[in-house]
């Protein structure tokens, strides 16, 4: 095996990292939803410091990917949204952690 090919294979593991999760704001949201059962929009905003627009946009992407599920409910007359990770989202987050750990552990000092 040539050196160039070996390097290419090494770099492949970095390329395999889930880019949807790798974005810092989405990673924050996923990490938070991973450790709780569910949370509403306001809680995610207050904990992550993201603005509504940002959070809404990231959640839409995560929902499209099937990582986050949205439970819509009404509290009195007010709409209320609780969000939780799907099983797919949990697996993807665990896999992302594993991949990142591996990539960073393998880096030379």
Partner 1 sequence: MSEKIDLKELERRAFRSTFQDGLWDIFLGLLLLNIGIGTIVGGMLEEAEVSLLRIMLMIVPWPFLVLIAFWAGKKFITTPRMGLVKFGPQRRAKMKNLRAVLFVSVLLLVVMFFLGWAAMGNGLPWWVNEIPLPLYVWPAQTIVVFGLAAYFLDVPRFYAYGVLYGLPFPAGMLLVKNTDLTVLGSVAIAYSVPVGVMVLIGVILFVRFLRQYPAPAEGSIPEAEFHDGC
In the complex, the residues that contact partner 1 under the rule CB under 8 A are 24, 27, 31-32, 34-47, 52, 55-56, 59-60, 63, 70, 72, 78-82, 97, 100-101, 104-105
CA distance 38 to 85: 8
CB of 47 to partner 1, least distance (A): 6
CB of 27 to partner 1, least distance (A): 8
CB of 36 to partner 1, least distance (A): 5
Q: What is the largest CA-CA distance in the chain?
A: 67
CB of 20 to partner 1, least distance (A): 15
Neighbours of 105 (CB within 10 A): 7
Minimum CB distance to partner 1 smaller for 6 or for 106:
106
**CB-based burial label for 51 (10 Å; 0-12, 13-18, 19+):** exposed
DSSP reduced 3-state for 88: helix
Minimum CB distance to partner 1 smaller for 39 or for 92:
39
């Amino acid at each position: 095996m040539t050196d160039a090919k070996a390097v290419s294979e090494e770099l492949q593991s970095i390329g395999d990292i889930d880019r949807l999760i790798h974005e810092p704001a989405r990673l924050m949201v996923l990490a938070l939803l991973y450790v709780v059962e569910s949370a509403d929009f306001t809680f995610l905003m207050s904990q992550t410091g993201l603005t509504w627009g940002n959070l809404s946009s990231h959640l839409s992407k995560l929902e499209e990917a099937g990582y986050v599920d949205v439970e819509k409910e009404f509290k009195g007359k007010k709409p209320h949204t609780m969000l939780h990770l799907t099983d797919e989202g949990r697996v993807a987050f665990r896999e992302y952690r594993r991949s990142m750990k591996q990539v960073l552990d393998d880096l030379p000092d």
